Structure 1
Amino acid sequence: MTTQLQAMPTDWHKALAVVAHPDDLEYGCSAAVAAWTDAGKEVAYLLATRGEAGIDTLSPQECAPLREREQRASAAVVGVTSVEFLDHRDGVIEYGPPLRRDIAAAIREHRPELVITLNHRDTWGEVAWNTPDHVAVGRATLDAAADAGNRWIFPELRERGLEPWNGVKWVAVAGSSTPTHAVDATTGLERAVESLVAHRTYIEALTDEDPRTYARAFLTDVAGTVGERFGGRPAVAFEVFTR
């Protein structure tokens, strides 16, 4: 029998989603975000880059502000108003103390109980190779959830007024090939589609298909597949690590 996914914890108020690029959250997470903001929860986005190396036909100087605008518009569709960028270089993000420190600083500032990130493993389900950026940011986010609570790691953050925050209860990894939990996407799926469509420039560079048709087909298929392990309801899956 296929193991059924558990419902995500709901006894939290603030979440911080940390990913590498604009559109990372929209490829599967945003239906859950819409459901959470509908329920009165606060969700903030932190992106390591502005996605400036993501469109071959646009120079990084042209691409960065465009993708930032699309990300902010995309986030607004699902009720997220706090969108921050760290300005690490797209395509060559390095895992290490500087990245961990930047993410830990954001966790101390936002004080979330739930932290969300993207697949940090080498592959997507042992089928497709993951990108170095996703691996670096996902791994650093898992580590930074602990760093944020340790006053002796990155003491310079206290000099900036960012006191330790040891209140992260869970780190939820989207896009994992070994998910443990899920969120019902029924009410958020249409907004998730519109949220992905907001990245129109990126999608138009990716495919000749109509962006809305492309987004709906992709997200509906993923949600339906997850739903087979969640009572038949369309859903968003996460691998949840408890702290």
Structure 2
Amino acid sequence: MPAFDPARDPVRRVLCFGAHPDDLDFGASGTVAAWTRAGVEVQYCIMTDGDAGGFDPAHRAEIVAMRHAEQREAARSVGVHDVHFLGERDGYLEPSHEVLRKIVSVIRQVRPDVVLAMHPERDWTRLQRSHPDHLACGEAVTRAVYPAVENPYAYPELQESGLEAFKLRWLWLYGAPEARENHAVDITDTFDAKLQALRAHLSQHPDVAKMEDFVRANSAALATAHGLGQDRLAEAFHVVEVNAADTIAGF
């Protein structure tokens, strides 16, 4: 059986993590748009403020406010209305206990069926996918998902404040090395929404047409690689079932 079967594994609520504003829009916004159109509640959590991004020196004083606004606009274009910002510094993200505590807190607040995050493994075929903050995002979220989210004695002050531990079913990781991808989503019908989300990040795209051509070509290549057809577009993920019916903690 496949790692994930939409007919067998209904999704009602999803929490998506990105290291920077725009990461989710590159990696997963077509899938997010498909979820929200189907009635799934999706929330975003952006871990850094993206303060080291952009190209125009004139934007430095206002870049954080710009990138927050861009991400909120991008999220709305794919049906997402709740965006959490953790406020970490761009380029300095680490899977520290301070960061893990923030992640566990948000996951326990939302209590999703799926947590979606960046992949913690470096992709040597295109190093730009493996920005250190991307890897730190994936590592921190993976560490938070197991065991801290489900352990009431991890960050006990969260449990005491009413954020009760629970067992997460699914972890979806985007930006994975090709060998790790085990699930693809056809985003042909939501690709325009994905492009609209990416266009919202005006501070990050000195050449919008080139960016769009790259995203379309990459989505077409993923659809072909995963057997969806040469006229389709796709996003691909490494899907991990964290807690199955037969899962025993620690084994």
Fold conserved between structures, TM > 0.5: yes
Corresponding residue for residue 187 of structure 2: 185
Aligned length: 231
Looking at secondary structure, tell me which structure has more helix per residue: 2
Q: Is the 8 A contact 1:114 1:172 kept in 2?
A: yes
Deviations 1:116-167 (A, max 9, x none): 0112113x2444162221111111101111211110101011232211121x
Q: Does 1:165 align with 2:166?
A: yes
Distance 1:169 1:153 in 2: 19
Q: Match of 1:237, as an amino acid? A: A
Q: Does 1:231 align with 2:228?
A: yes
Q: Is the 8 A contact 1:8 1:181 kept in 2?
A: no
Residue 240 of structure 1 and its aligned partner are, at CA, apart by 0.6
Which runs of no fewer than 5 residues in structure 2 stay unpaired?
A: 243-251
Corresponding residue for residue 200 of structure 2: 198
Name whichever of 51-60 and 182-191 sits farther off.
Answer: 51-60
Distance 1:25 1:150 in 2: 28
Q: Match of 2:44, as an amino acid? A: Y
The secondary structure found in structure 1 opposite 2:24 is coil
Residue 230 of structure 1 and its aligned partner are, at CA, apart by 3.1
Alignment of 1:35-74 (within 5 A): 35-56=34-55, 57-58=57-58, 60-74=60-74
Deviation >4 Å, runs of 4+: 5-8
Alignment of 1:1-243 (within 5 A): 9=6, 10-56=9-55, 57-58=57-58, 60-122=60-122, 124-128=123-127, 130-146=130-146, 147-166=148-167, 168-177=168-177, 178-204=180-206, 209=207, 211=208, 213-228=209-224, 229-232=226-229, 233-243=232-242
Distance 1:97 1:117 in 2: 18
The secondary structure found in structure 1 opposite 2:137 is helix
Q: Match of 1:31, as an amino acid? A: G
Residue 61 of structure 1 and its aligned partner are, at CA, apart by 3.8
Q: Is the 8 A contact 1:53 1:59 kept in 2?
A: no
Q: Match of 1:51, as an amino acid? A: G
